[in-house]
Amino acid sequence: MSMKSHLEFFDFETQHASDCGEVLEIEFSNANLEWKGVVLEKGNSPHFYPTNVYTPYFYFAMALDRDLSWSAEKDGTLSALKTSPGNIWINPPKTPFTHEISEPCYFLILAIEESEFLSHCPLGLEGLELNFLNNYNVMDDTIKGIMELFVLETKSKGRNGKAYLNNLISLLSTHYIQNYSNYFDLKNGQLSASKFDQGQMAKIDTYIEENIGNNISVDDLADLLRCSKFYFLREFKKLTGLRLINT
């Protein structure tokens, strides 16, 4: 028997609650557990059309069961995407998105409210103006593994208690902030000291030519230039005017 979703969506323009999540059919969730600011849901939907909406969560949605062809808006234009089971879409809080999913989709969603997520991070974030990436088709075994631990803890009805739950949030927030934000750029002062030049772009061109038959990820290119993923995507867009879909 399916349930209604407890996820909250808001229209970015009006700030009013959006009903786009009404179509989500939930077969498994943590609704009966007193986990403040944490929503875990597994389910499916015949379609999904969120339009310029945001959530109050750090939102991790992992595809399940089968490939999915859909579209996501980037810079005012819809881009076609193909997502496979295990791929994760990550969206920060208060970050609007527009998706067009016109076929059945199957998902596991872990959503953690901003204050709950950041308060359990041990990195020392005071005074840092963090920016976060909106990532599509992420393949990250660490995030996937932590999501699966949340599932196991939900199935055991929270048997390990509040301390264990807090540790899971801490693990996820630490990994996410270090890998999907400008955290290291701020810590290392790279924001003011580093800019891409034509020599670095030539290095990227050479790498792509040498690996044209292989899958090339944003991680590969960021590692090549010894910078964070966040910094690479931002500076690449500044120099070329192009925004890469992070895959």
Model confidence at 247, pLDDT cuts 50, 70, 90, reads low
Residue type, 132: F
Mean pLDDT, residues 109-120 taken together: 96
User: Per-residue pLDDT tens for 158-188?
Assistant: 999 999 999 999 999 999 999 999 888 787 7
Are 136 and 66 in contact, with CB atoms under 8 Å apart? no
Q: Which fold, 3-181?
A: Jelly Rolls (2.60.120)
Q: Reduce the DSSP state of residue 164 to 3 states and report it.
A: helix
User: Per-residue pLDDT tens for 185-219?
Assistant: 787 764 444 467 677 777 887 888 788 777 778 88
**CA distance linking residue 172 with residue 219, whole number of Å:** 19
Ramachandran assignment for 37, one of left (phi > 0), alpha (psi -120 to 50 degrees), beta (any other): left
Instruction: State the chain's mean pLDDT as an integer.
Output: 88
Q: Which residue has the higher pLDDT, 193 or 117?
A: 117
**Boundaries of every domain in the chain:** 3-181, 190-240
Q: Where are the alpha helices (DSSP H) in 137-241?
A: 141-155, 161-180, 183-188, 190-193, 198-210, 218-224, 229-240
The domain 190-240 having CATH identifier 3.40.50: the answer here is no
User: Per-residue pLDDT tens for 21-55?
Assistant: 999 999 999 999 999 999 999 999 999 999 999 99
- pTM of the entire structure? 0.78
Nearest Cα residue to 150 out of 30, 55, 63, 5? 30
Can you list the positions of beta strands (E) in the chain? 3-4, 10-11, 25-29, 38-45, 53-54, 57-63, 68-74, 77-83, 88-91, 99-100, 105-113, 135-138
